Amino acid sequence: MSHYNEGFPQRSPALSLEQELFEQRFARIREIEALGWRPYGQRFEFTHTVPQIRASWSAADAETLEKDRVRVRAAGRVMTVRRMGKAGFFHMQQLGERIQVYVRKDAVSENEFRLYQILDLGDIAGVEGYLFRTKTGELSIHAEKLTFLSKNLLGLPEKYHGLEDVELRYRQRYLDLIANPEVLKVFETRARLIASLRRQLNERGFIEVETPMMQPLYGGAAARPFVTHHNTLDIDLYLRIAPELYLKRLVTGGMERVYEINRNFRNEGISTRHNPEFTMLEFYQAYADYRDLMDLSCELLERTAVEATGSAKVHYNGLELDFGNVRRYRMREAVIEFWKHGPKPTPGQVRDPEWLLRHSDKQTPGEALVDLFERHCEEALVQPTIIYEYPVEVSPLAKQNPDDPSMTDRFEIYAAGMEIGNAFTELNDPDEQRRRFEMQLAMRERGDEEAHQMDEDYLRALCYGMPPTAGEGIGIDRLTMILTGQKSIRDVILFPLLRPEGEIGIAEWLRQASSR
């Protein structure tokens, strides 16, 4: 038994191996303190981040480094350690990148070398020294000072495979980020994507607003809501399923270009493309129509892809998607074009209400057309595609097409077989909106729980006159999936919803360890 194992039983049968390791590491806290460091240290002034070091000197050869003697101070999490008696190496990781550190006994103080000898994988350390290349050519820091910054008590997943258990990855995202640096890249891309959209909208004169997440009436989409309660007012409130009706109130008030990027909540199924809370961009532009937004969408998507990933062409599921080239089909055209089995329908058939009702179990021709579209076309829309002209029955907030009142001036954007955007010329006629709400109420009475509620304050706002306006929503999570190549929405949401886990027990471990 080494001297730093003294002080607690060699192996108590009551302790699991995991708890034993925890106790071993906990005991090291005292030893770190004895060497003169705080186990949970203070601020550390670094000259470079690890990625900065790599970016600046990855091309510098051994002779140059020896001649220039670049001194750096850097910090990171210890990910590998190779000790060889009186010297050794470790890799430290910061911001998803690693740098090797070389520690030799005669280059640091006695206590610093002692500290190196008791570093555990997962500890956070700071290093000062000069850059050099090892015999095998790896850029490394030759340590001259070593300091301790934070103690890891739980150990790290396997160094070669990382953390693969998806349940653990989602429940303990912090551990996922430590063990799988590529996860960090996904969320960096997500952040760039959102920043790019904000930048583009700001440049075009849109202003960002925040509207209620807790709403007395829910609307703006077809979905079941979460219900909560406010005690003081003693009222039930719904977590919003969409911000749409509030944003259009603002347009009515004269905020002619508005947008909001935030969470929506829908009390529905969980799947690889659905999370109960998800992030949506909605924007509204007065004096524009859905055709304007088609063009705007293409510009937004192309530049977002470029700014987030470096290219308008992205790879998803082994295919190349080109956001620089978005196709456009009418919904009826798409049904014909992508008809799956048997002879394709004719343009006359997809306009014929009776033909549509015969080919779907939906109750209205419009719902039947959408049903056929979803069954035949959706998964085939891998390349970015705009589908336009949606039936009025499924579009209670969109303006009718002047030439065909059964259809609305609405489009959706599809990519990788997923809907990623929805836009339309907004219905601004209050009396027509009243009729649409009443149509929704009738659908609700037929058992459609997701049909709209009547929102009289919204009607009142329209009665003051909303300018002709077009609006659009873009699903940020799904767009992130496509731009980062992730197949599950849980891989682009940092903390996806899971059932809560049971008792963890770590407080008891700490209690026991600290009482020893």
Partner RNA sequence: GGGCCGGUAGCUCAGUGGUAGAGCAUCUGACUUUUAAUCAGGUGGUCGCGGGUUCGAUCCCCGCCCGGCUCACCA
Q: Tell me which residues in 446-485 interact with RNA (CB under 7 A).
A: 450, 475, 477-478
Residues 111-150, one symbol each (x = binds RNA by CB under 7 A, - = not), give ---------xx----------x-xxxxx-x-x--------
- Residue of the chain from 72, 74, 81, 423 that contacts RNA (CB under 7 A): 81
Residues between 328 and 387 with contacts to RNA, criterion CB under 7 A = none
CB of 45 to RNA, least distance (A): 26
Residue pair 470/423 in contact (Cβ under 8 Å)? The answer is yes
Q: Is 2 in the site for RNA (CB under 7 A)?
A: yes
Q: Binding RNA by CB under 7 A: which of 21, 177, 441, 459?
A: 21
Q: How far is CA 326 from CA 16, 243, 486, in A?
A: 58, 27, 21
How many residues belong to the site for RNA (CB under 7 A)?
78
Helix (H, G, I), strand (E, B) or coil at 108: coil
Q: In the chain, what is the straight-line distance between the N-terminal and C-terminal CA atoms, in Å? A: 18
Per CB under 7 A, which region of 232-240, 245-253, 461-469, 488-496 contacts RNA?
488-496
Query: Using CB under 7 A, which of 249, 266, 332, 399 touches RNA?
Result: 266
Figure out which of the listed residues 159, 358, 435, 516 binds RNA, where binding follows CB under 7 A: 159
- Give me the amino acid identity at 449: E
State the Cα–Cα distance between residues 89 and 91, nearest whole angstrom: 7
CB closer to RNA out of 21 and 214: 21
Question: For the window 85-114, what string marks contact with RNA as x by the rule CB under 7 A?
Answer: xxx-x-x--------x-x-xxx--------
What lies within 8 Å, CB to CB, of 502 at 6+ separation is none
Nearer to RNA, 367 or 409 (CB): 367
CA separation, residue 184 to residues 77, 193, 390, 488, 493 (Å):
15, 14, 39, 16, 12
DSSP 320-334: EEETT--EEEEHHHH
* C-alpha Rg value of the chain to the nearest Å: 30
In DSSP terms, 140 is beta-bridged to 100, 132
Among residues 276, 324, 430, 467, the one that binds RNA under rule CB under 7 A: 276
Interacting residues with RNA between 290 and 329 (CB under 7 A): none
Name the minimum Å distance from CB 93 to RNA.
13
Contact 489, 477 (CB under 8 A): yes
Interactions with RNA, residue window 420-449 (CB under 7 A): 422
For β-strands 327-330 and 319-322, DSSP reports them as unpaired
87-94 vs 97-104, strand pairing mode = antiparallel
Could you say which DSSP state residue 290 is in?
H
Min separation Cβ 452 and RNA, Å: 11
Of the two residues 27 and 184, which places its CB atom closer to RNA in the complex? 27
Stretch that binds RNA, among 216-224, 335-343, 385-393, 461-469 (CB under 7 A): 216-224
Q: What string of DSSP letters covers 406-424?
A: EEEEEEEEEETTEEEEEEE
| Residue 325 tokens, joined | 């080239």
Residues 386-415 that bind RNA (CB under 7 A): none
Q: Which is nearer to RNA, 155 or 310 (CB)?
A: 155
> Which is nearer to RNA, 221 or 470 (by Cβ)?
221
